[in-house]
A and B are shown apart, each in its own frame.
Chain A
Amino acid sequence: MILKNNQSNISFGNDLPQHPEKLKQIRDLIRDYAAECELIPPLQEEEVIFHSGELIRKHPELFLYQKLLAVMINNYAWSQIVAGIPFNRRILLLPKCISHSTLCPAKYDELGLLCEQCGRCDLAEIISQADELGYHTIVTEGTTSASLLLSSGQVECVVGVGCLHSFERSFPLAVKEAVPSLAIPLYNNNCKDSKVDKIWLDEVLSMRSKSNWKGWIDLDSIKSVLKDWFATAQLKTLFGQDDDTVDIAVRWMETDGKRWRPTIMLAVYDALTGKSGEYDDTIQKLAVSIECFHKASLVHDDIVDEDDERYGKPTLHKEYDIPVALNVGDLLLGYGYQMIAESEAKHIRKLLKVAACGHRDLSLGQGEELLWRNNEKLLTQEEILRIFSNKTSPAFEVALQFGAILADADENILNIISEYSNALGIAYQVNDDLDDFKQKRIVSGFNTIQPSLVSTLLNQKHPEKMQEWFERTKNGDESINTEFLKWAETRQAMKEAEEMLNIYKRNALKALKPLNNPTLKILLTRLLNRIVPENS
């Protein structure tokens, strides 16, 4: 055991004024600062740091309080939205360390301390105030409960009391999930008999505007709407033909899948119009058209990749044969365009163009990959990223643009969506490829992990060795399917690919910076984390 004698691990910027008046003074200062620049939530960490830096530049005496400033700026950005959230949708997280360090009689469950409101500490008073308003209160120890709640994706609002250390832990998660949240730091950092500024807390707890904020998009309820739209009977009515080939197509459409594309289309529409849950035939037809394009591309993809299974069932060309599968794919493309044409949407030409361009890019990306396979040359990093951007981004982009176009969004928003989709598509593909490498063996052979970012990185560094792996595969050597994944260089390349994945995720968020519609910004931030989940 090493004993560190330096008791204070307080670094600059970690300080907190010990008087409510001083805290109030700084809050007012931030309000004045924020009036001059637009703070649209969710703010990314670097934005919060930037603004606290600006404040310190203007008020150098605040340099001790850098972290406090960051917390307050983030609070300010969210305050209006939080005020529009009903009390009974808010969760209050209080730290266990407020409780009496020796005389607290309370027991614990896995979420935290079950306060008996004995009155020995401040918790009783705070909790009864919060109860009266309708808050759900949890007294937590550490940040485990907070992390769990934030990452559940269901929490609509959090008011958190804690030390600045604990905020550093939970802030990134709150940003990722774009949860409207306000944080109130404790006066002390030593986890014992802690105190909070009750005036500030009171101000925050009772904050409530007259009108409700309607920007929380419930993805689960969208998915349940979609479930009905993709039921066999509904699809048959839409397609309107009774025919064996149509039956195969309907069944293929109906078979599970995440329905991400229709979901994000509806979510964007909801976010921009603020009318969640009110859908007409136009939207339904467009949602089905998007899924038609997607499912058509899957049929064709499975043929190209020689995959035998999808969703744990035989692929279409395995169940029937390649010509039948090809034809069903084509039929779905036909239906997709038909649905757009019959949708009676206001901007049919715009929609058609978006869909057609998506198709074109998809085929170009796919084309580059197919031609690469034929001539066996090594791909560069730029080439593989271009393939990804062409091949994967359109599917997301078409869905997002459809939602935005339907909601009459302006060019500015459409451009932002375009940039966001590009980064999202690349991130999605890199992540998807990485999943193949995270297995114990390559399930369907060495060639199926090419081209991928990992193999491209390896090609660049170790062309001879990669050629050797390739030759061995050709000669039917199956042992490399496990050996290759254990290779130290493969692990290293995976690490690099993961770093690039994070860069593209960050790029997607950066693209959202100029968005001044918080509802859409919040939605797209959440979607990124859902579509490309954090690696665990």
Chain B
Amino acid sequence: MSKQIFICGCEKDGKIEKKSVEKLMSTLEEKNIAYTYIEDMCGTILKNPDDLESLYNAKDAIVFGCQTRAMQHLVANSGRKTEGNGTEYHHVDDDSQEELISTLESNTGEPLKIKYSDSWKPWYPVIDYDRCNGCRKCLNFCLFSVYSVEDDGTVVVSASANCKDMCPACARVCPQNAIIFPKHAESPIDGGEGDGTENEKTDILEQIQNEDVYSVLSARRKNFQVSLLKKDQFKMAEDERRACCSSSDKKEEKKAEKCDCDCNCKNDSESKCDSKDGDSNSCCC
């Protein structure tokens, strides 16, 4: 049996490139591969979960959308997915996309569409249970009771609608980086793997508890200003380098120019040129 294809368009204040989604859809259509377009999976899974029945029950599926970890846990968090089904998740901008599509069998189904027509922007946390260790920091941290604890101690997102649009604060306090906001702009909060720096913890929290608070804060401010300065300097250096490059480009252009009078004065200032007038040391060029 062929794989079922799903594409999430992240339409509600989304973060993925519309062009990428459109490109993917036209490629599939060209190849006569049927797919289901989900306008906004975050929204539908919360507001109209029944609409995604085909995704939960698909024996073998591929989902294109935002970060794979975000989609995988978003679907897992719904608790409706049939266990044991093979579902692959891919970013719409995934490099291996073409290769992947080439392996798909064409079929003649019509594209389906799952609409999300609510005005509410589905901004809420998704928990990556592979990472969550149940420390409850998020639970105590959130001012709006988005989280709660089940009888068995599992932390769950129980009041998604209480979550404040664009506030990813709980994800930042999570020591496991286990909280995902799929619509967030940065990795790893958006479910990406991050660049590794997010785990580089300074010991500033410890310093505050054990050293003089005021000197720690002064030092922090100073360090930051220095780093800003460095950033400025770096930017300046980059600008200068760019300026350098472009001016040497010009030089080369000039070099390429030929002197009208066939002399060699462009390259050799000492060369004699008949066209030179004695005072200004300049010739035709």
Interface residues of A (CB under 8 A from B): 1-5, 7, 9, 88-89, 91, 96-97, 101-102, 108-111, 114, 116, 136-138, 141-144, 148-149, 152, 154-155, 163, 165-166, 169, 190-192
Contacts and interface: CB of A to CB of B under 8 A. Distances in A.
B209 A148 contact: yes
A152 B166 contact: no
Contacts of A154: 212-213
B209 A1 contact: no
A169 B145 CA distance: 13
B167 A1 contact: no
A110 B220 CA distance: 11
Interface in B165-214: 165-167, 169-170, 172-173, 185, 201-202, 204-205, 208-209, 212-214
B221 A136 contact: yes
Contacts of A114: 224
A102 B76 CA distance: 28
Contact of B204 (A110, A141, A165, A169): A110
A407 B2 CA distance: 89
Contacts of B221: 136-137
A144 B173 contact: yes
B157 A1 contact: yes
A259 B222 CA distance: 37
A101 B218 CA distance: 27
Nearest to A116: B228
Contact of B77 (A1, A5, A88, A111): A1
Contacts of B169: 96, 141-142, 191
B111 to A, nearest CB: 28
Sorted nearest first, the 8 A-B pairs with minimum C-beta distance are A191-B164, A136-B217, A191-B167, A141-B169, A165-B143, A154-B213, A101-B166, A142-B169
Contact of B162 (A4, A88, A108): A4
A44 B169 CA distance: 30
B213 A155 contact: yes
B165 A192 contact: yes
Contacts of A143: 141, 143
B144 interface: yes
Contacts of A7: 161
Given A1-B46, A144-B141, A111 B161 contact: no
Interface in B149-170: 156-162, 164-167, 169-170
A192 B164 CA distance: 8
A152 B209 contact: yes
Given A114-B224, A116-B228, A152-B209, A5 B202 contact: no
A63 B172 CA distance: 36
Contacts of A108: 172
Given A4-B159, A108-B172, 4 more contacts: A88-B214, A110-B201, A136-B214, A192-B166
A109 B164 contact: no
B14 to A, nearest CB: 13
Contacts of B275: none
A208 to B, nearest CB: 18
A148 B209 CA distance: 8
B202 A3 contact: no
Nearest to A117: B228
B164 A190 contact: yes
B281 interface: no
A148 B205 contact: yes
A152 B206 CA distance: 10
A3 B161 contact: yes
A165 B185 CA distance: 26
Nearest to B209: A152
A351 B161 CA distance: 64
B77 A152 contact: no
A192 B168 CA distance: 11
B250 interface: no
Contacts of B166: 101-102, 191-192
B209 A4 contact: no
Given A144-B173, A149-B208, A111 B220 contact: yes
A97 B167 contact: yes
B47 interface: yes
Contact of B78 (A1, A88, A165): A1
Given A3-B161, A152-B213, A192-B165, A142 B141 contact: yes
Contacts of A142: 141, 143, 169-170, 173
A142 B170 CA distance: 8
B143 A111 contact: no
Nearest to A144: B173
Interface string B45-75: 0110000000000000000000000000000
Contacts of A166: 143
Contact of B158 (A2, A137, A141, A191): A2
A17 to B, nearest CB: 21
A3 B160 contact: yes
A2 B159 contact: yes
Nearest to A140: B169
A4 B162 CA distance: 7
23 contacts: A1-B46, A1-B156, A1-B157, A2-B158, A3-B159, A9-B144, A9-B162, A96-B169, A97-B167, A102-B166, A111-B205, A136-B218, A136-B221, A138-B217, A142-B173, A148-B208, A152-B213, A155-B213, A166-B143, A190-B164, A191-B164, A191-B167, A192-B165
B51 to A, nearest CB: 14
A443 B158 CA distance: 42
Contacts of A91: 213, 217
Contacts of B205: 110-111, 148
A197 to B, nearest CB: 21
A36 B12 CA distance: 55
Contacts of B224: 114
A353 to B, nearest CB: 41
A111 B156 CA distance: 26
Nearest to B137: A144
Nearest to A192: B166
Nearest to A114: B224
A109 B167 contact: no
A335 B246 CA distance: 87
A94 to B, nearest CB: 13
A534 to B, nearest CB: 14
